[in-house]
Structure 1
């Protein structure tokens, strides 16, 4: 494994206690960064910190990404701990239940959009001022190929992830002359606990769409995100990076 040079970088990773977020934290730590894991699950946070602490400085914050006050408090606490924030990875998200659009529970729709889209906005809103203060930063938003193609029986998730792509492009243009690059990744299915929220029929459908005939691995996601978090990624902003095993058609 080739590690990038992330020495002296401090990274916020939402949903950092497990799955893709945990793998990203591990990869960034191995590359010299310090990380702040943000998650709503305090027990999972402490478990993740215990496992990662040997790799470097690991800070944690219990955060509800749908709450303006919670995200702002976490940003302030993280900046106070490290002295600054230079990298933000918006990874927290849920899949929601599967149903036809006209049969989707309104509460489920709002919860998915609130966490998967509004949560990204609120985290960016709380952390971007710290990146601007540095005069340098990298923001990576984890979207989904569902946001590009639209998965049936997952309108809420697809719409939220399409929103993340649009938010990424807007923010990337707003910060284009600020030495802050903002990009997003659109994975196909990555093998994580989020699959437990889905029906087997939906899981089989998603695998059938991937030409490599397998789901992605968290390490593969972490590898791409690691580069996007680095100074080596210097002329890509507002861009969408596919991680789909050949599924993406544009």
Structure 2
């Protein structure tokens, strides 16, 4: 049984990971809202990662940072605060969590960190300037820390295409928009949270003990293929 800290495990991808890991591991969830589940293997802390101090946790094997944003605007409509807020949520929050828990993680069993990027960091997409900039920061962080922590802690990131969560509800708000989104992807689909949770399960497991500093695109072909 591993001790897993999930930041942002009450909704979306983070919640899918939490539910998948809960039966066989002890989960510390940190988010503004509590998950809609109670379990003997779950301890929840209600707080805002950007505003509040993170709790002291004595034993950690895995840290997963899930908070993100979808802020799609033309560059002329994006304010400096938009860029700053997206960077704070996606990058500074992750750095804050890593710095807080790094000493404990180093003592863990097969310790690992998992972060999240986006396909928009590699695929030029209109109106993604702010979020793509922030997530590119995440990818740089993974590469740099992968090297720095190579002898002690593995760190990887998943870069999903659009995933059906509350965060993307405005983009997938009706059947027509969902079908159009599927057609945009060469493999004619987009992600469900449990698909991303399955990749997370692999990356934090012993099966991935040789893998660090990598960005894994889950893209339904939108980055990989030109068809």
Change (3 A) 1:175 1:59: same
Please give the alpha-carbon distance, in whole angstroms, between the structure 2 residues aligned to 1:234 and 1:148.
26
Cross-structure match for 2:201: 226
Please give the alpha-carbon distance, in whole angstroms, between the structure 1 residues aligned to 2:118 and 2:31.
20
Q: For 1:12-27, what aligned pairs fall within 5 Å after superposition?
A: 12-27=5-20
Confirm whether residue 248 of structure 1 aligns to residue 223 of structure 2. Answer: yes
- TM-score in terms of structure 2 length: 0.89
Please give the alpha-carbon distance, in whole angstroms, between the structure 2 residues aligned to 1:146 and 1:203.
18
Confirm whether residue 211 of structure 1 aligns to residue 204 of structure 2. Answer: no
Describe the superposition over 1:187-215 as per-residue Cα deviations: whole angstroms up to 9, x where unpaired. Answer: 00110011135487997875444112222
Describe the superposition over 1:212-232 as per-residue Cα deviations: whole angstroms up to 9, x where unpaired. Answer: 222211111000101111122
Change (3 A) 1:135 1:16: closer
Does the CA-based 8 Å contact 1:187-1:243 persist in structure 2?
Answer: yes
Match of 2:141 among 167, 178, 185: 167
Give the paired residue count. Answer: 223
Q: For 1:174-213, what aligned pairs fall within 5 Å after superposition?
A: 174-178=148-152, 180-198=153-171, 207-213=182-188
Describe the superposition over 1:153-188 as per-residue Cα deviations: whole angstroms up to 9, x where unpaired. Answer: 12111111111111011111111011x110000100
Please give the alpha-carbon distance, in whole angstroms, between the structure 1 residues aligned to 2:178 and 2:48.
28
Please give the alpha-carbon distance, in whole angstroms, between the structure 2 residues aligned to 1:230 and 1:117.
24
SS at match of 2:207: coil
Q: Unmatched 5+ residue regions in structure 2?
A: none
Change (3 A) 1:147 1:246: same
Confirm whether residue 37 of structure 1 aligns to residue 29 of structure 2. Answer: yes
Cross-structure match for 2:122: 148
Please give the alpha-carbon distance, in whole angstroms, between the structure 1 residues aligned to 2:106 and 2:82.
35
Q: For 1:111-150, what aligned pairs fall within 5 Å after superposition?
A: 111-134=85-108, 136-150=110-124
Describe the superposition over 1:54-97 as per-residue Cα deviations: whole angstroms up to 9, x where unpaired. Answer: xx510111232224xx35x32x1xx1xxx40110111111212x
Does the CA-based 8 Å contact 1:150-1:159 persist in structure 2?
Answer: no
Describe the superposition over 1:86-141 as per-residue Cα deviations: whole angstroms up to 9, x where unpaired. Answer: 10111111212x22113212222221111011111111111111111336411110
Confirm whether residue 48 of structure 1 aligns to residue 36 of structure 2. Answer: yes
Please give the alpha-carbon distance, in whole angstroms, between the structure 1 residues aligned to 2:77 and 2:108.
47
Cross-structure match for 1:3: none
Change (3 A) 1:181 1:213: same
Please give the alpha-carbon distance, in whole angstroms, between the structure 2 residues aligned to 1:171 and 1:39.
24
Change (3 A) 1:16 1:135: closer
- TM-score in terms of structure 1 length: 0.81
Task: Say which is worse superposed, 130-139 or 113-122, in terms of deviation.
Answer: 130-139
Does the CA-based 8 Å contact 2:187-2:220 persist in structure 1?
Answer: yes
Q: Unmatched 5+ residue regions in structure 1?
A: 1-6
